[in-house]
Amino acid sequence: MKVGAVFCDYDGTLARMDTSRELSRVPDELIGTLTRIAAHVPVAIVTMKDFDFIHTSVPFANGWACVGGLEVRLADGRIFRSRVRIQESILADIERRLPPGFTVETKRGIDGELLGLCVDWRFGTAPHDDFIQGLLRDLRSRNLYVRYAPPEPFIDALAGRPNEGTAVRTLAQLLGVKGSLVYIGDSVSDNPAFDEADLGICVIHGQELLPITSRAAVQQYELHPFLTSLLLNELEIPDDAWFFLRK
């Protein structure tokens, strides 16, 4: 398989899941290797983060599908945006009802419009299920698309339905991908992207793997050696590569 593009998720894939937004970063060795890969084939990021965050964390990318694809940006300056948005009053209402230990990460578009929010309690006391169910009902009653996959300690609420598969397809077309597309992710939310790619690779960091549809998997500490091997093999992946069907 000759690799024609490498697309990646961010949280849990390039960066660890167990860090705050302020401390989240891509390891230097991954940045260096992906930058070298981007000199040969398109490298793009598909993430629930917004552009203001992701383009500073992964500045070498050729494209970014932000907030699950609600906004797509290319390194050449082109922007493809959704018209949906969340009223600021909804954000204020949600913030008022949250107990201590919860944080709200906002996801904004090019003009500052609110595209989504993430309610996160990973660094606080785990809430009772009744509270979570009530919060889910409240978010859905406001016509937001809600994504929650317990035991993950956060809820994403978006102005529109994200689709990582469509985001991968759109970026591949815009970037003129030639050859096989590799998508690297870590969760059930990445399944549409895995299915769209020629090869999906799941990064393992202790999550439940059975619902994930990727054909291959690597431990998180193996990701950099894998990407390095791509460069050494001139972006060729043998059909019997060691990471196939390792879940």
Instruction: Identify whether the C-beta of residue 207 lies closer than 8 Å to the C-beta of residue 186.
Output: yes
212 pLDDT above the threshold of 90? yes
Phi-psi map region of 12: left, alpha, beta (phi>0 left; psi -120 to 50 alpha): left
Element housing 114 (H / E) = strand 114-120
The two beta strands, 199-204 and 180-185, are: parallel
Out of 154-158, 160-164, 180-184, 235-239, pick the least confident.
Answer: 235-239
How far is 102 from 211, CA to CA, in rounded Å? 28
Phi-psi map region of 179: left, alpha, beta (phi>0 left; psi -120 to 50 alpha): left
How far is 200 from 193, CA to CA, in rounded Å? 8
pLDDT digits (tens, 9 = 90+) for 181-193: 999 999 999 999 9
Local confidence band at 247 (pLDDT 50, 70, 90 cut-offs)? low
Mean pLDDT score of the chain, rounded to an integer? Answer: 94
pLDDT digits (tens, 9 = 90+) for 71-128: 999 999 999 999 999 999 999 999 998 998 899 999 999 999 999 999 999 888 889 9
Which amino acid is it at 85? R
Burial of 175 (0-12, 13-18, 19+ CB in 10 A): buried
**pTM of the predicted protein model:** 0.93
Q: Which residue from 244, 243, 234, 247 is spatially nearest to 36, judged by alpha carbons?
A: 234
Radius of gyration of the chain (CA): 18
